[in-house]
Amino acid sequence: MEIHAKQIRPDDQNRANRARMLISCPDGPGIVAAVSHFLHQHGANIVQSDQYTMDPSGGMFFMRIEFDLPQLESNLAKLEADFADVATRFEMEWSLSAVSRKKRLAIFVSKEDHCLVELLWQWQAGDLDADIALVVSNHLDMKNYVESFGIPYHHIPVTADTKKEAEQRQLEVIGNDVDVIILARYMQIISPTFIEHYRNRIINIHHSFLPAFVGGKPYAQAYNRGVKIIGATAHYVTEELDGGPIIEQDVQRVSHGDNVTELKRIGRTIERVVLARAVKWHVEDRVLVHENKTVVF
């Protein structure tokens, strides 16, 4: 079986000259004017712009701009260099990326396959605008399936004793060319050292509507508490287990008649949809992190 992501999207001709800019800085007068003036002067046309001011007097300012720039490929470097002045003036953290330069994902998975299958399906359908660089797993279960898509599969077993070496091996196979790591029901805790390498670039799916049911067996916890709604949460991984910035959540109604098996079954669909949305938003540069929260444009 040979399945590849569709290479041509209907709107691809629009994308060659499109770029995105993410900005976080202390709020103050003139930021939008300065940025939009800068872009206009450099010949860029803003096609989408979102902003959010946490608190008009003295809070943080966040902005996402999508713009078209003729001959982007040859002009982007100069634009980036020139913007440093503006950025310095307003103490900005910022990033700039060409839409045509797809983000590269590493997907980590254990035995449960639903989140991985969803990501592969969305990627193959052209809905996930990214490249899947590799899959890493502590099990062999999904090897044939993943390789049938032409994607490298790295089997790296993890035990309590070999955890450190396993993470070292994971970092090696990932290399320097991966933008974001997706924990698609990867059932191992990531060490602080590893997290530090990919600060705000590791996305996990937790199978409850956090902060309810932190920790293990959330569906059993939900059943025992008798909740009428279950959910799932996609978040960036931080040192605090299940405590990182939330990107997306969704829920579904359940009833007294749903036992733990049924909750898990319902939950699988929530999990895969929520994780896929969070990944899509991340690769489209829609998520900014500030302290322990996200701004999602």
132-191 positions binding a copy of itself, by CB under 8 A: 144-145, 148
Residue from the set 20, 64, 103, 114 that interacts with a copy of itself by CB under 8 A: 114
- Torsions phi, psi of 123, nearest 5? -65, -45
Contact set for a copy of itself, span 230-249 (CB under 8 A): 231, 245-249
d(Cα 54, Cα 255) in Å, to the nearest integer?
Answer: 38
Largest CA distance in the chain: 63
Catalytic residue among 131, 141, 242, 250: 242
Residue count, binding to a copy of itself (CB under 8 A): 71
d(Cα 257, Cα 91) in Å, to the nearest integer?
Answer: 55
Question: How far is C-alpha 238 from the chain's CA centre?
Answer: 14
Residue from the set 213, 238, 271, 285 that interacts with a copy of itself by CB under 8 A: 213
Q: Are 173 and 136 spatial neighbours (Cβ–Cβ below 8 Å)?
A: yes
Residue 203 CB, nearest distance to a copy of itself (Å)? 14
Stretch that binds a copy of itself, among 33-41, 167-175, 177-185, 192-200 (CB under 8 A): 33-41
d(Cα 236, Cα 295) in Å, to the nearest integer?
Answer: 13
Q: What is the CA radius of gyration of the chain?
A: 21
Residue from the set 19, 177, 261, 279 that interacts with a copy of itself by CB under 8 A: 261
Report if residue 250 touches a copy of itself, rule: CB under 8 A. yes
Stretch that binds a copy of itself, among 26-34, 79-87, 96-104, 172-180 (CB under 8 A): 26-34
In the complex with a copy of itself, the residue whose CB is nearer, 45 or 162, is 45
Q: Are 215 and 241 spatial neighbours (Cβ–Cβ below 8 Å)?
A: yes
Report if residue 219 touches a copy of itself, rule: CB under 8 A. no
- State yes or no: is 177 an active-site residue: no
Q: SS3 of 263, please?
A: helix
In the complex with a copy of itself, the residue whose CB is nearer, 14 or 168, is 14
For residue 80, what are the CA distances in angstroms to 46, 206, 294?
16, 37, 25
Report if residue 282 touches a copy of itself, rule: CB under 8 A. no
Q: Is the dihedral of CA 167, 196, 215, 280 positive or negative?
A: negative
Contact set for a copy of itself, span 49-88 (CB under 8 A): 49-53, 56-57, 68
Residue 40 CB, nearest distance to a copy of itself (Å)? 4
In the complex with a copy of itself, the residue whose CB is nearer, 3 or 84, is 3
H/E segment holding residue 175: none
- Strands 180-183 and 103-109 come out as parallel
Residue from the set 71, 95, 162, 292 that interacts with a copy of itself by CB under 8 A: 292
The catalytic residues are 242
